[in-house]
């Protein structure tokens, strides 16, 4: 069973997560997980049989209704009502790849045995994951405070035979898909609805998805920026390690080292220069790209902790005979990290657009707009407009969500993280960055042709050759929208070493 991942209490790393996703592994609950889940549920059932006092979320209402005691015969109905009433998401649908990640992370969080769910509930979520039964979830509705209530309610609805799912390429009613597999709807027991809805798996799935892609975009920003440096006939001195060792930020040192490796053997970088300095968008690549690298590393640490955490409420500790109501569902750590990530990615796009602008400006023996017969041909004039527009939108999207809070639940939830909004807009920033870098690559690969017959490094020449198989050199005006789209596809399919 090589293509199987066992859900366990072992640390879930991003490398493991990427392997699960890229190899489309099935998941199986380990025996240790099953034991923990069963023990926790048995403890809770025993506690409810002998305990008449109100315990939040188990035999009480929710939020500001926490003081309303619910009779034992209505506990199952209470949990079902919770899921239905909280399924009020709206807006665009969450991408299926993120929904599948939400399923995986919810299963992981429930597997530690502090949530009080039935084993069959977790096993049904595993069935959904393994059979690509993906609940229809919406991007709007979570405050990122009592967990991602609305999105996770939509994630849980199909357990009850309610809501919709994507299955075999079609949107289907959940009840029909359950019938297809011969499954009965889950009858939720005490606390189960709250365990499913409390949690940060919406924010976590977005964050994990973004983190896994951000490393690649950081690498591509370095590579494409290096091609632009070559095309602009830039200087190598700003990448000398001596400069960076006296200001030893890790990302700065790593960026300078990577750029020098990209340039190893280049004739262009070694030729004598008539200019003394380059503009900051070239000269300060190590400092700017490096700062974003350090931010990405910080965000990665935050989300590594989160995807290995229990984030519902209350938490059950059967070994110490305690049920504790706290606030692990609050998304503040993630909200701050997602805002930081959005800023870091937006800055990679901002400096990229500036390099594109320099390349088309008719400087350093490059023709205006990087095309023969400028005037008759507009060349690369307008792609820079597009990059500028996208970079500007990223600046707007990088305005922090986490500084906002709106009181909810009659004042019981008086501070919220807004991390869910931070998550969805951070993904938009990431997608925008991809297009900005695509436009820079179009310009840089065009401009470097005006340095011939000099050659860049073997690696850069190989990269440009591969790119030219998808996007030919522009010799006269054509519809550049198609070039942008082909470049985006090229960058999407370009594979980098995991250690890069």
Q: Catalytic residues, which ones?
A: 56
Residue 289: both structure tokens together? 């790209």
Neighbours of 252 (CB within 10 A): 23
Cis peptide before 453 (omega within 30 of 0): yes
Interacting residues of 449 by C-beta distance below 8 A, sequence separation 6+: 473
Q: At what angle do helices 332-359 and 381-397 cross, to 10 degrees?
A: 160
CA 417, CA 327: separation in Å to the nearest integer? Answer: 12
DSSP H/E element including 440: helix 419-447
Enumerate residues 6+ apart whose C-beta is below 8 A from 394: 342, 345, 346, 349, 350, 429, 432, 433, 436
CB 429 within 8 A of CB 474: no
CA distance 248 to 254: 10
Examine residue 53 and say whether the peptide bond preceding it is cis (omega within 30 degrees of 0). no
What token pair was written down for 371? 């095309």
Cα→Cα distances 202→155, 240, 382, Å? 10, 43, 37
The token pair that represents 2 in the structure block:
């090589």
Picking from 294, 302, 386, 402, the residue whose alpha carbon sits closest to that of residue 344 is 294
CB–CB of 201/109 below 8 Å? Answer: yes
C-alpha–C-alpha distance, residues 399 and 433, integer Å: 16
Chain CA centroid to CA 403, Å: 20
Strand order from edge to edge, sheet including 170-173: 134-135, 164-167, 170-173
For residues 279 and 288, the answer to whether their CB atoms sit within 8 Å is no
Q: Which of 295, 303, 278 is nearest to 226 (CA)?
A: 278
Task: Give the whole-angstrom CA distance, residue 428 versus residue 37.
Answer: 37
Output the six-digit token pair for 354: 């500036």
Token pair for 132: 């690509």
């Amino acid at each position: 069973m090589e293509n199987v991942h066992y859900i366990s209490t072992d640390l879930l790393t991003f490398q493991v997560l990427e392997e699960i996703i890229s190899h489309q592994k099935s998941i199986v609950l380990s025996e240790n997980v099953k034991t923990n889940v069963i023990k926790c549920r048995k403890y809770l059932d025993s506690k409810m049989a002998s305990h008449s006092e109100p315990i939040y979320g188990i035999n009480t209402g929710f939020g500001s209704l926490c003081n309303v005691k619910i009779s034992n015969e209505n506990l199952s109905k209470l949990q079902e009502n919770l899921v239905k009433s909280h399924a009020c998401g709206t807006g665009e649908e969450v991408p299926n790849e993120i929904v599948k990640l939400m399923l995986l992370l919810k299963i992981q969080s429930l597997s530690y045995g502090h949530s009080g769910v039935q084993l069959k509930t977790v096993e049904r979520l595993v069935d959904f994951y393994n059979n690509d039964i993906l609940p229809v979830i919406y991007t709007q509705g979570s405050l990122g405070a009592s967990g991602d209530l609305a999105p996770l309610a939509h994630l849980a609805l199909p357990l009850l035979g309610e809501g919709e799912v994507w299955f075999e390429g079609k949107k289907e009613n959940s009840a029909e898909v359950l019938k297809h597999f011969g499954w009965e709807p889950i009858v939720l027991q005490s606390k189960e609805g709250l365990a499913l809805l409390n949690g940060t798996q919406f924010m976590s799935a977005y964050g994990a998805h973004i983190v896994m892609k951000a490393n690649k975009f950081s690498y591509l920003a370095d590579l494409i920026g290096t091609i632009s440096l070559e095309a602009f006939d830039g200087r190598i001195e700003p990448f000398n390690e001596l400069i960076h060792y006296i200001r030893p930020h890790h990302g700065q040192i790593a960026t300078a080292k990577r750029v020098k490796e990209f340039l190893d053997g280049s004739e262009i970088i070694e030729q004598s220069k008539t200019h003394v300095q380059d503009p900051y968008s070239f000269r300060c690549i190590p400092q700017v790209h490096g700062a974003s690298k350090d931010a990405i590393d910080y965000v990665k640490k935050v989300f590594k902790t989160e995807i290995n955490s229990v984030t519902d409420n209350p938490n059950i500790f059967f070994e110490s005979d305690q049920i504790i109501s706290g606030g692990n569902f609050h998304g503040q750590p993630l909200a701050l990290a997602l805002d930081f990530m959005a800023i870091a990615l937006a800055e990679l796009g901002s400096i990229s657009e500036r390099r594109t602008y320099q390349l088309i400006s008719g400087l350093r023996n490059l023709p205006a707009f990087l095309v023969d017969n400028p005037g008759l041909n507009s060349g690369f004039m307008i792609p820079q407009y597009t990059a500028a527009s996208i970079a500007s939108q990223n600046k707007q999207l990088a305005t922090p969500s986490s500084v906002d809070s709106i009181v909810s639940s009659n004042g019981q939830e008086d501070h919220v993280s807004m991390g869910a909004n931070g998550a969805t807009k951070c993904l938009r920033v990431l997608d925008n960055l991809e297009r900005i870098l695509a436009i820079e690559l179009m310009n840089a690969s065009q401009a470097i042709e005006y340095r011939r017959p000099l050659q860049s490094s073997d690696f850069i020449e190989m990269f440009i050759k591969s790119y030219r198989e998808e996007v030919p050199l522009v010799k006269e005006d054509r519809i550049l929208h198609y070039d942008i789209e082909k470049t985006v596809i090229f960058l999407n399919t370009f594979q980098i070493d995991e250690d890069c």
